[in-house]
Copies of this chain bind each other. A is one copy, B any other.
Amino acid sequence: MAASTSLFSSSMHSGMPASRTVKCSENFLFCQWRMSCKQPSYSKLVYQNQSRFLGNERSLKWKQTDNVFQKEGIQCQALKTENMTFSVGKKFQLDDVIEAQQFDRDTLSAIFEVARDMEEIEKNSPGSQILRGYLMATLFYEPSTRTRLSFESAMKRLGGEVLTTENAREFSSASKGETLEDTIRTVEGYSDIIVMRHFESGAARRAAATAGIPVINAGDGPGQHPTQALLDVYTIEREIGKLDGIRVGLVGDLANGRTVRSLAYLLAKYTDVKVYFVSPGVVKMKDDIKDYLTSKGVEWEESADLMEIASKCDVVYQTRIQRERFGERIDLYEEARGKYIVNRAVLEVMQKHAVIMHPLPRLDEITVDVDSDPRAAYFRQAKNGLYIRMALLKLLLIGW
């Protein structure tokens, strides 16, 4: 479920001398007052309490008082207005973020605009209080420090607060046997939004179906990791300047990597995209994605020649070959692993405007000497994850 906030602006009273409007925007307060020095004392303070809809329990409260100066015990909270103006109040069209399939092209584009605003806030408005008073629970059933820190940083950069657990398995341990649904019902009582990482595919959807507050899927096992998919597409748009008409080379483990699968899925929303698959034989892209691309009219091609693909593409998306996928066949792993390395030789053939991406962590599938090249976009890509998560938290909690 989502939360909403609205603000209205008090219109000035007319016919008063020497009127002034002071916009004192700190935290949650928005106020205007007028003074006349010739008259005994005219004063007006209009303030609005930023309230929240949370489930059925909370209602939006407007409080308006004339001559507030004579009243006692007033709660006066400041709205922290950032430099950019949000059209606060319009509900985000999604209640939860569960899978990449939820996002159409227009929604992606609108989210990316908010992510750009978030970049401004992060750089120029330290101490932003947009999400002040909101509490996010990071319910991680398996540790993923990188993802957790990214979400927690996003929340705190917007003035929100965080409850953390990395041992959420304890909640539902076999010995105690609590269901995920029961856990969610408890945690939703302590927080305003849940960011959940789980080891089981489909867990996020179950959580969202139970929770009366928004749920963000931060990865559910072999299932989805939608914020990663969004930050990948956002990064391409930021780096290349467009999403239509681009050529993207997906390199490495294409069979197991949910990242490249989600990316291919989202790219199909754009026109005139061409996708190249470059992977060792044992970890080739599966037919379902190939069929999906074909059905959407997206051209794709498999290739064994990284150099040729690199010279053609706008984006070379490298991924890690995961040892755990090979079981006892270390020999196959070692062979697959060394096959397609992005190094300075690859950089040589790449176009000037093209970029290298990687979901991180990397081993040696991108050599360290590539890092200093401006086309190495993977650390900027990681940072974009922060902006995308800030945007989603903002949208789910207070709307557009």
Contact string, A141-154, partner B, CB cutoff 8 A, digits 1/0? 00111101110110
Residues of B within 8 A of A187 (CB): 149
Q: Which A residues between 167 and 181 are near B, CB-CB below 8 angstroms? A: 167-168, 170-172, 175-179, 181
Whether the pair A135, B157 counts as a contact (CB closer than 8 A) is: yes
- Distance of A71 from chain B, by nearest CB (Å): 8
Residues of B within 8 A of A168 (CB): 145
Given A75-B82, A124-B61, A175-B323, A149 contacting B163 (CB threshold 8 A)? yes
Most buried by B among A58, A163, A362: A163
For A190, give its contact among B126, B150, B179, B320 (CB under 8 Å): B150
Does A345 reach chain B (CB closer than 8 Å)?
A: no
- Distance of A140 from chain B, by nearest CB (Å): 11
Interface positions of A (Cβ within 8 A of B): 18-29, 35, 37-38, 40-41, 43, 49-52, 57-58, 61, 68-78, 80-85, 123-128, 132-135, 137, 143-146, 148-150, 152-153, 156-157, 161, 163-168, 170-172, 175-179, 181-183, 185-187, 189-191, 320, 323-324, 360-363, 368, 379, 382-383, 386
- Distance of A184 from chain B, by nearest CB (Å): 10
| Among all A-B residue pairs, the 4 with the closest Cβ atoms | A127-B133, A37-B37, A126-B133, A178-B361
Residues of B within 8 A of A28 (CB): 127
Contact residues of A: prevailing secondary structure: loop
Given A76-B24, A126-B51, A143 contacting B171 (CB threshold 8 A)? no
A127 to B49 CA separation, bound complex (whole angstroms)? 11
Whether the pair A75, B83 counts as a contact (CB closer than 8 A) is: yes
Residues of B within 8 A of A68 (CB): 23
Residues of B within 8 A of A76 (CB): 23-26
Whether the pair B163, A153 counts as a contact (CB closer than 8 A) is: yes
A28 to B127 CA separation, bound complex (whole angstroms)? 9
Oligomer: number of copies: 3
For A124, give its contact among B51, B84, B134, B185 (CB under 8 Å): B51
Whether the pair A149, B165 counts as a contact (CB closer than 8 A) is: yes
Q: Can you name the residue of chain B whose Cβ is closest to the Cβ of A81?
A: B73
- Distance of A82 from chain B, by nearest CB (Å): 6
Whether the pair A74, B26 counts as a contact (CB closer than 8 A) is: no
Whether the pair B186, A146 counts as a contact (CB closer than 8 A) is: yes
Given A18-B40, A163-B156, A324-B175, A85 contacting B57 (CB threshold 8 A)? no
- Distance of A16 from chain B, by nearest CB (Å): 12
Most buried by B among A72, A75, A145: A145
Residues of B within 8 A of A58 (CB): 123-124
Residues of B within 8 A of A123 (CB): 57-58
Q: List 8 A-B contacts (CB under 8 A).
A: A18-B37, A20-B41, A24-B76, A25-B74, A37-B38, A73-B84, A145-B167, A186-B360
Residues of B within 8 A of A177 (CB): 361, 363
Whether the pair B23, A72 counts as a contact (CB closer than 8 A) is: yes
Whether the pair B72, A85 counts as a contact (CB closer than 8 A) is: yes
Known contacts A25-B73, A128-B133, A137-B149; 17 further A-B pairs (Cβ under 8 A): A23-B74, A23-B76, A25-B74, A25-B76, A37-B38, A57-B123, A75-B82, A75-B125, A145-B165, A146-B186, A150-B190, A153-B163, A166-B167, A178-B361, A178-B363, A186-B360, A186-B382
- Distance of A391 from chain B, by nearest CB (Å): 15
A178 to B368 CA separation, bound complex (whole angstroms)? 11
Whether the pair B20, A362 counts as a contact (CB closer than 8 A) is: no
Q: Can you name the residue of chain B whose Cβ is closest to the Cβ of A379?
A: B185
- Distance of A6 from chain B, by nearest CB (Å): 14
